[in-house]
Structure 1
Amino acid sequence: MKNITGIILCGGKSCRFGEDKGLCTLAGKPMIEYPLSALNSICDEILISSNDPRYDNMGYKVIKDNIKNIGPIGGIFSALQQSKTEDNLIVSCDMPFVNEKLLNYILDNKNDHLVAAAFEGQYVEPLCSYYNKKVLPLI
C-alpha cells in the first residue's frame, strides 16, 4: 500500500437522476462498487462522503458534510479533514469506468501539485482527482 486514502463522493440531491446514483445498479452492482473496487487495490483506507444513512452499513467510514449544500467541495473538504494521510484520491460514486490504471496515472503524474485531476483533451474531471491534505486551508 502507498499510504493513500480513497474518498468516494456520494453526495448530491440526484434531482435530475431521480435516485441516489451510488446505490443505483449497473450490470447488477450498485454503482459505488466500481470506484470502491478501483480504490481498494491502491488505498490503505476508504472514506465515503455522504449524508445518506444508507451508506452507513457498507463497512467503510462515512463522513458527513460539515458545510451543507455547497456541492462536491463540501464533501471533499469534510473528508480531507478526516483523512489520516497526506495523499488522497477522490472519485465520484457515479464513475463506473474508473479503474486502477487511471488512478495510478494520476498519482504518477501529480508531481508536487496539491491537486491533480484526470482530464481528456481540454475537459477536466475534478471529481476523479488527487488531493494533498495541505490544500485544506485553500478550500
Structure 2
Amino acid sequence: MLYDATGLVLAGGKSSRIGTDKALLKLNNMTLLEYSLGKLKGLFKEVMVSVDIKGKYNIDNSREVIDVYPDCGPLGGIHAGIKNAQYEWVFVTACDMPLWEDSLVVELMKRRNGYDAVVPVINNKTEPLFALYNKTCLPLVENNLNKRKYKVSDLYTELNVNYINAGELPDNGLISPSAFININTSTDYNIVLKGFLEEDKI
C-alpha cells in the first residue's frame, strides 16, 4: 500500500566538499538519486526531487521541483517540495543519505496525526533531513527564508513537532548505526558503500 503523501528527495546541494555531484555517485548500477527515488516510489503515491536548476537530472516518472529561493540550502528545497506537493504530508530525505530502512519511514507515518512535523532524534540530535513535514509548515518556512534563517531545525521552536527517539520505537533495530550517514567526503562515500555490502543492499 502506498501512502497518500509525497516523498521528496533533496538533490540541489553544491557538493563542494566531495568535489563531484553527490546525486550522481554510483551504488552498484544506480546513482544515489535513482536509488533514493526508487525507495520512495515503494512508499508514496507522489515522488518529487528538488533541484536548483531545471532539467539538471534525467528523471523518469518523478516530478522535478525547482527552488523558489535559490542558494538557501536544504530549507529552500523543503520549501519547493511542500509548496508543490499534491498531498498534505511530505517526507523529506537527502539524496546523500541512502542507508535508511523503509520500516523507519512507516513508523514516522504512524505518528504524524495532530502534528506539524515528525522528526527522529538519534543520539540527542534531530534529523531534519529525514523527517515528515505538513503543509501547515509552509508559512513559517517562507518566513524564515525571507529572514535568511536557513537552519531547518530553527523551525521547530514554532511548530508542533513529534520528536521520535530511538528508544520509543517498537524495535530499536529499525535504526541501524549507518542509517543517517550522509556523504560529504570520499571517506563518507566509502563508508556508505561498505554499509551497502554489509547489509545486502546491493
TM over 0.5: yes
Inter-partner Cα distance in structure 1 for 2:113 and 2:123: 19
Q: Deviations over 1:57-113 (max 9, x none)?
A: 433111110011111000110111110110111110111112211111111123422
Inter-partner Cα distance in structure 2 for 1:57 and 1:126: 25
Q: Deviations over 1:20-75 (max 9, x none)?
A: 11111123320123322321111001010012433244331111100111110001
Q: What residue ranges of structure 1 are gaps of 5+ in the alignment?
A: none
What is the match of residue 36 of structure 2?
A: 35
Q: How does 1:1-139 map to 2 (within 5 A)?
A: 1-52=2-53, 53-139=55-141
Q: Which moved more, 1:87-96 or 1:19-28?
A: 19-28
Distance 1:44 1:19, change over 3 A: same
Q: Which moved more, 1:41-50 or 1:102-111?
A: 102-111
CA RMSD after TM alignment? 1.5
Q: Alignment identity in percent?
A: 30
Q: Which moved more, 1:35-44 or 1:76-85?
A: 35-44
Task: Indicate if the aligned counterparts of 2:81 and 2:90 stay in contact, CA closer than 8 A.
Answer: no
Task: Indicate if the aligned counterparts of 1:8 and 1:90 stay in contact, CA closer than 8 A.
Answer: yes
Inter-partner Cα distance in structure 1 for 2:39 and 2:125: 22
Which amino acid letter does the alignment assign opposite residue 29 of structure 1?
A: M
Task: Indicate if the aligned counterparts of 1:35 and 1:98 stay in contact, CA closer than 8 A.
Answer: no
TM-score, normalised by the number of residues in structure 2: 0.64
Task: Indicate if the aligned counterparts of 1:38 and 1:98 stay in contact, CA closer than 8 A.
Answer: no
Task: Indicate if the aligned counterparts of 2:52 and 2:70 stay in contact, CA closer than 8 A.
Answer: no
Q: Whose helix proportion is higher, 1 or 2?
A: 2
Secondary structure (helix, strand or coil) at the match of 1:4 reads: strand
- The structure showing larger relative contact order (alpha-carbon pairs under 8 Å, at least 6 residues apart) is 1
Runs of 4+ in structure 1 off by over 3 angstroms are: none
What is the match of residue 180 of structure 2?
A: none
